[in-house]
Amino acid sequence: MTTGPVSQHTPPPPPTTRPWSPRQARWLLRKPEVKLTPAQQAYIQQLGLVCPDIVVAQGLIVAFTQLVRKRDNAAFCPWLTAAQESGLPKLIEFTKSIVRDRASVEAALTYRW
């Protein structure tokens, strides 16, 4: 039996994407995943590798946007808890402002204007 050098397979590097401006990245992170192009998904994946908090923030931002658009008051309390427990300072600060004006937020999610 002959043994040769062991072939080591290294995964291919992730696809390179062009850098986005902070404003563009912020816009991109607000889009639901189903509306992202493959290049946009790759960019978010790369951001997530550099900073895993971005993935957490994206999920919470998209969920909040959806619950406001759908006026889903039942999803509000679970979202608020998840955002408060996220450990992300900007989201925690945002939840504090929502809690201060909670009655107005819940009314906006419940009633048509």
Is residue 18, in this structure, part of any structural domain at all? no
- DSSP at 33: G
Is residue 27, in this structure, part of any structural domain at all? no
What is the predicted pLDDT for the residue at 60?
95
Is residue 2, in this structure, part of any structural domain at all? no
Residue 4 scores a pLDDT above 70: no
- DSSP at 34: G
Is residue 5, in this structure, part of any structural domain at all? no
Q: How many domains does the chain have?
A: 1
Asked whether the whole model's pTM tops 0.85, one would answer no
Is residue 42, in this structure, part of any structural domain at all? yes
Distance CA 95, CA 105 (A): 11
Is residue 94, in this structure, part of any structural domain at all? yes
Give the confidence band of 2 by pLDDT, cuts at 50, 70, 90. low
Tens digits of per-residue pLDDT, 9-36?
A: 665 555 555 677 888 888 888 888 889 8
Which amino acid type is present at position 56? Answer: V
Burial bucket for residue 29 (CB in 10 Å: 0-12, 13-18, 19+): buried
Task: Find the domain containing 72 and state its range.
Answer: 36-110
Tens digits of per-residue pLDDT, 37-66?
A: 998 888 888 888 999 998 899 999 999 999
Is residue 48, in this structure, part of any structural domain at all? yes
Of 102, 110, 109, 107, which Cα lies nearest the Cα of 84? 102
Is residue 25, in this structure, part of any structural domain at all? no
With beta carbons less than 8 A apart as the criterion, state whether 36 and 55 touch. no
